[in-house]
Amino acid sequence: MLRRGHERHSDLSWTRLLHGLDLGDPDGEVAATWIAAQDLRLLYRHHDPSRAAAAFYRWLAFCADSEVPELHRLARTLDSWRDELLARFTVADVSNGPTEAINLLIKKVKRVGHGFRNFANYRLRLLLHCGTVWDAPATTMLRGRLHAS
């Protein structure tokens, strides 16, 4: 029930959730963490960058005021990535989906290859498998054999 978004709870599940927190969370740490998770999820529903920044500031303040050390650490980490997190609201229709798709294909080719000894061949195999026309410079040899002339 804690993994479910607040908007997906029925009256019965709210009652069960609150009862479970009353019995099993005497210090309120789980409840504070759940509230922080819900607020962080809601942050991405904003469309205005200034409202998103204000909501993120309120979230950081909530985490700082809590008595949960893990929330303090999470807030410090996300605060150090503030510009990157809030960039989502200023840059429209940008996704790392294509990059993740290429990374998945690369991992698949690497698994199927059972280890490549020649990096240039591995690189060519990746370029062919990904189906992308890349204008990439030739691979620099990291080490090689001297050929006898």
Report whether pLDDT(148) > 60. no
In the predicted model, what is the mean pLDDT of residues 115-138?
73
Q: Across residues 121-130, what is the average pLDDT?
A: 78
CB 48 within 8 A of CB 89: yes
User: Rounded to whole angstroms, how far apart are CA atoms 85 and 56?
Assistant: 9
Return the residue matching tokens 């904003």: 46
Give the pLDDT score at 87. 86
Say if residues 126 and 109 touch (Cβ distance below 8 Å): yes
Q: Does position 141 have pLDDT exceeding 70, yes or no?
A: no
pLDDT level of residue 146 (50, 70, 90 thresholds): low
**Is the separation of the CB atoms in 46 and 55 below 8 Å?**
yes
Distances (CA, A) of 142 to 15, 78, 114: 63, 37, 21
Range with the poorest average pLDDT among 31-40, 73-82, 96-105, 106-115:
106-115
- pLDDT average, residue stretch 102-126: 79
pLDDT digits (tens, 9 = 90+) for 43-85: 988 888 999 999 999 999 999 999 999 999 999 999 999 998 8
User: What is the pLDDT, as a whole number, of residue 6?
Assistant: 74
* 142 DSSP assignment: S
75 and 63 Cβ atoms separated by less than 8 Å: yes
Task: Read off the pLDDT of residues 18-45 as tens digits, 9 standing for 90 and up.
Answer: 788 888 888 889 889 988 999 999 898 8
* Distance separating alpha carbons of residues 78 and 64, to the nearest angstrom: 12
Domain spans, the chain? 6-89, 97-130
Residue 95: what pLDDT? 77
